[in-house]
Amino acid sequence: MSAAGGVGLQRPLGQGAALAHFLRRARRLELPHALVVEGAKGGGKSTVVRWLAAALSCPSELDTDEPCGMCRVCSRIASGGHPDVHVVDRARDEDDRKEHGKSFHVIKVGQVRQAQEALLRHAVEGRARVVCIFDADAMEEPAQNALLKTLEEPGPATFLLLEASRPEQLLPTVRSRVQRLRVLPLAEAMLRRELQQRIPQRAEWHDAAVRLANGSLGRALLACTERAVQLHDLVRAVLATTNGLRPLATAAAVLQGERELRSAGDAARLFLWLLRAELRARSSALAESAAGSYPAAAAEPWTSWLESTLAAERDLDLLIPPEQVLTACLLDLRAT
């Protein structure tokens, strides 16, 4: 839900008492100096991070529990232009990579040091200094080590908000110095309502999207794109004919038209996510139909296939070529 008139921040959907507790502390500038906001990809973590940053920075006295979401400060946080809220992230496009020297794959140590230098300056608008690190689990090890100094000596009214889908990727020395907030999955009814409000023209895809999304609005919206629908059809074809699966041809179909390595990697990740989501949905349906009790063999080979998709994701993280990764994963499926 956006602020009035569609201007300003988005308010997080479907979150409970834990977020409300941290928001109240943020309004009083009593938030833990370092907080990891964790949860599934597309689950609203970035929205929560920005809302917390606004709670720390918003000057409005209308609400002691949340930011107003509509004032100039909140609007500047939404657009990434507030002078006291410093954003650290990976490159979003080629221009971002070239202009700012970012990487599509990792957050570099220089980016962390640049944010630390910004924290040495006084807050421009007075309330707090905030660093938001998106995809914090993609920080290279030197970047995480550099962050330790700020974690240990943050300074007055200084707060670090780290967003991570895989917090286990953070170093133990980092994890031991932060508190954690888990973003909750959304109920199916809420997902359906949001899809209907945002993309009513794609209503024929909503049921499948909700089934696959596992409570993630971002994933549900992604599942309603034409590319995702095409790949989902391919996933269902793969699962229907595993014995006759042609790994090379299937990998080529996933990557068809993708000329750049990054876009090919994105297509491979989308296919792997849809495959994993379909396997999990079918496993859940099996458990429900059997009232929770069924032979272990009935779930095979789905468990092995899930492990193969996760291994393939890790290979993509290591920058192994997407066609090679997909072919190896599909060979595993055919062999199981």
Asked if residue 62 has pLDDT above 90, the reply is: no
Asked if residue 5 has pLDDT above 70, the reply is: no
Q: Where are the domains of the chain?
A: 4-182, 225-335
Bridge partners of 130?
Answer: 85, 159
Burial label for 41, CB within 10 Å (0-12, 13-18, 19+), is middle
Asked if residue 7 has pLDDT above 80, the reply is: no
Asked if residue 10 has pLDDT above 60, the reply is: yes
Burial label for 236, CB within 10 Å (0-12, 13-18, 19+), is middle
183-211: average pLDDT: 97
257-262: average pLDDT: 88
Asked if residue 6 has pLDDT above 50, the reply is: no
Asked if residue 292 has pLDDT above 90, the reply is: no
65-76: average pLDDT: 93
State which fold the 4-182 domain adopts: Rossmann fold (3.40.50)
Residue 2: what pLDDT?
A: 36
115-131: average pLDDT: 90
Range among 29-43, 236-250, 283-297 rated most confident? 29-43
pLDDT band (50, 70, 90) for residue 288: low
98-120: average pLDDT: 93
pLDDT band (50, 70, 90) for residue 252: very high
Two tokens, residue 151: 């974690």
Average pLDDT, the chain: 91
Asked if residue 297 has pLDDT above 60, the reply is: no
Asked if residue 262 has pLDDT above 70, the reply is: yes
Residue 4: what pLDDT?
A: 34
Could you count the other beta carbons within 10 Å of the beta carbon of residue 9? 24
User: Vertex 128, ends 126 and 130: CA angle to 5°?
Assistant: 135
| Separation of alpha carbons 74 and 84, rounded Å | 12
Return the minimum-mean-pLDDT range out of 170-174, 276-280, 287-291, 318-322.
Answer: 287-291
* Amino acid letter, residue 245: L
Residue 290: what pLDDT?
A: 57
Closest CA to 50 of 21, 73, 30: 73
Return the minimum-mean-pLDDT range out of 41-45, 62-66, 217-221.
Answer: 62-66
pLDDT band (50, 70, 90) for residue 1: very low
